[in-house]
């Protein structure tokens, strides 16, 4: 077992800088907890799920409790995860009223031969698995908070994600979102799409956030991987190439990426991104706005 480990996370990219003290402080808390767990030998997959569940439950980010309603007032959630050790993956899309979408994505990966379940079929599967669905979604989600944070007219998106390298050298990635506030019912962004928002293999792990359609058309997460694996780019260069391409196409957002060598990228093309990481030395980095 190696001494080396990493947890990196994001709580969404945003277009409007404001006071994000609370958001940044919460990432810090998650990083400290993740450090203890990974130090104790926790598997990468468990670590990313725990971090994402923490962000989903916090109500601070546009995922889980903090999700915004779609144009019909429903809360439709998406999530995906990938286990780099065995290339297994699971995802759910357009699922109403699930408390922790990332747990549903894990159930798809572990209990079915499928990668992605969507809509009412996915909801029935979640119920069969005994994963918590909300009896009163309107009471649970925090639209007033979300709406003040990201005005509907801004077309803002929000997402959370986490990546881990564990002491066995395995990597994992997870992404979860409430999607675009005021989005069209049934709209599925990049978050539940393996290769668009989420990727993990034996070399690296990636999770994205931002204007999802641009990340889907760019196959953003996998493109970072391909630029590293096929073109020999560094993680820094590959991340910049993909984000610059999205910006040039008219999109915006960010991504986090880590690799087995210990490189960490938390990069974005917009006002800021809730982001952080911790390594084996225990020093935490957490920011929302650009570094001074």
| Interface residue list for a second copy (CB under 8 A) | 70, 72, 76, 82, 87-89, 93-94, 112-125, 183-189, 193-196, 199, 212-213, 216-217, 219, 222-223, 226-227, 230-231, 249
Q: How far apart are CA 60 and CA 75, in angstroms?
A: 16
Q: How far apart are CA 191 and CA 143, in angstroms?
A: 20
Cβ–Cβ contacts within 10 Å for residue 86, how many?
Answer: 13
Q: What is the DSSP string of 242-263?
A: HHHHHHHTT--EEEEEEETT--
Q: How far is the CB of 60 from a second copy (least distance, A)?
A: 26
Q: Which is nearer to a second copy, 16 or 184 (CB)?
A: 184
Any residues with CB less than 8 A from the CB of 17 and at least 6 apart, and which?
Answer: 271, 272, 289
Q: What is the DSSP letter of 10?
A: E
Q: How far is the CB of 66 from a second copy (least distance, A)?
A: 21
Of the residues 24, 146, 159, 208, only one is catalytic, namely: 159
Q: How far is the CB of 242 from a second copy (least distance, A)?
A: 12
To the query of whether residue 159 is one of the catalytic residues in this protein, the response is: yes
Q: How do 116-118 and 88-96 pair as beta strands?
A: parallel
Q: Which is nearer to a second copy, 249 or 283 (CB)?
A: 249
Q: Classify residue 188 as exposed, middle or buried by CB count within 10 Å of its CB (0-12, 13-18, 19+).
A: buried
Q: How far is the CB of 122 from a second copy (least distance, A)?
A: 4
Catalytic site positions: 159
């Amino acid at each position: 077992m190696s001494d080396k480990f990493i947890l990196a996370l994001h709580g969404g990219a945003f277009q409007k800088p404001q006071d994000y003290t609370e958001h940044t402080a919460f990432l810090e808390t998650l990083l400290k907890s993740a450090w203890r767990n990974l130090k104790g030998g926790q598997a990468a997959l468990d670590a990313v799920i725990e971090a994402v569940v923490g962000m989903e439950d916090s109500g601070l980010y546009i995922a889980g409790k903090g999700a915004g309603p779609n144009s019909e007032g429903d809360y439709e959630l998406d999530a995906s995860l990938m286990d780099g050790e065995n290339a297994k993956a699971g995802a759910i899309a357009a699922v109403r009223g699930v408390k922790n979408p990332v747990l549903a994505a894990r159930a798809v990966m572990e209990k079915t031969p499928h990668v992605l379940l969507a809509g009412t079929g996915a909801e029935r599967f979640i119920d069969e698995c005994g994963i918590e669905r909300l009896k009163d979604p309107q009471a649970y989600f925090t639209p007033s908070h979300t709406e003040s944070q990201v005005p509907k007219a801004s077309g803002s998106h929000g997402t959370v994600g986490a990546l881990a390298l564990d002491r066995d050298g395995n990597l994992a990635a997870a992404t979860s979102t409430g999607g675009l506030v005021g989005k069209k019912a049934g709209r599925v962004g990049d978050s539940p799409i393996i290769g668009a928002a989420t990727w993990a293999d034996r070399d690296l792990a990636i999770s994205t956030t931002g204007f999802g359609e641009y990340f889907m058309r760019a196959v953003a997460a996998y493109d970072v991987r391909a630029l590293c694996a096929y073109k020999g780019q560094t993680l820094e260069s590959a991340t910049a190439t993909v984000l610059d391409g999205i910006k040039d196409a008219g999109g915006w957002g960010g991504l986090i990426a880590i690799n087995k060598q210990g490189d960490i990228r938390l990069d974005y093309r917009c006002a800021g991104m809730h982001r952080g990481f911790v390594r084996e030395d225990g020093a935490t980095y957490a920011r929302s706005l650009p570094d001074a």
